[in-house]
């Protein structure tokens, strides 16, 4: 069993980032329902915002494995119901966050399965920016959205 990465990492400017070994999140795209978003618990870092199910990577855990594990723990996303499309990495040198973008290939209903979520919701791509987004997700969303559109012309939400 690998060592948990649940801890803060601090940058030289005092900014803190969750995940001793970095962090990862899962962006699930369903062609009919949109993007799966998590309304973060009030007590969490940047609570009461919307973002992706995700969290700290464990020691020697790949970003893809971490994103799938966290999405299963927080939203009940079954790994066998999704297919990987691409990854996007935000790398600060001492810490990184990897967004693992997957497409739902089988129907599933997300389930709040731990206290980190207030709500889980499928959100149309065009409606994502109307929500109060987690700052990190808000910063990465325009690039992710562009990559979603450039990789799949059929996405029109």
Residues of the chain short of pLDDT 70, as ranges, are 1, 151-157
Q: Is residue 53 part of a domain?
A: yes
Whether residue 3 lies inside any domain: the answer is: no
**Distance between CA atoms of residues 74 and 12, nearest Å:** 31
**Overall domain count for the chain:** 1
> Taking the complete model, does pTM exceed 0.85, yes or no?
yes
Q: Cα(18)–Cα(118) distance, rounded to whole angstroms?
A: 19
- Within a domain: 1: no
H, E, C per residue of 29-83: EECCCEEEEEEECCCCCCCCCEECCEEECCCCCCHHHHHHHHHHHHHCCCHHHEE
Q: Is residue 111 part of a domain?
A: yes
Q: What is the CATH number of the domain that holds 60?
A: 3.90.79.10
pLDDT at 140: 96
Q: Is residue 73 part of a domain?
A: yes
What's the confidence (pLDDT) of residue 2? 72
Residue 140 falls inside a structural domain: yes
Question: Is 88 in contact with 147 (CB distance < 8 Å)?
Answer: yes
* Closest C-alpha to 144, from 28, 45, 62, 31: 28
As a whole number of angstroms, the distance between CA 113 and CA 82 comes to 18
Kindly compute the dihedral angle of the four CA atoms of residues 60, 65, 71, 76, in this order, to the nearest 10 degrees: -120
**Residues spanned by the domain of 104:** 8-151
* pLDDT tens-digit map of 44-87: 888 899 999 999 999 999 999 999 999 999 999 999 999 999 99
Per-residue pLDDT, 156: 34
**What is the distance between the alpha carbons of residues 13 and 4, in angstroms, rounded to a whole number?**
25
Residue (of 57, 60, 72, 61) closest to 112 by Cα position: 72
Residue 102 lies in a domain: yes
* Predicted pLDDT at 44: 87
């Amino acid at each position: 069993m690998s060592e948990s990465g649940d801890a803060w990492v601090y940058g030289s400017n005092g900014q803190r980032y969750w995940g001793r070994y970095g962090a990862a999140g899962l962006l699930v795209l369903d062609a009919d329902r949109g993007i799966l978003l998590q309304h973060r618990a009030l007590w969490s870092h940047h609570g009461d915002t919307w973002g992706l199910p995700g969290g700290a990577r464990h020691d020697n855990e790949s970003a893809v494995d971490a994103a799938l594990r966290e999405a299963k723990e927080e939203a009940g996303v079954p790994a066998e119901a999704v297919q990987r499309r691409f990854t996007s990495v935000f790398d600060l040198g001492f810490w990184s966050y990897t967004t693992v973008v997957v497409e739902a290939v089988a129907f599933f209903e997300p389930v709040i399965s731990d206290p980190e979520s207030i709500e889980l919701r499928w959100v149309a791509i065009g409606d994502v920016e109307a929500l109060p987004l987690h700052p990190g997700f808000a910063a990465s969303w325009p690039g992710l959205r562009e990559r979603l559109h450039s990789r799949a012309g059929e996405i029109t939400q």
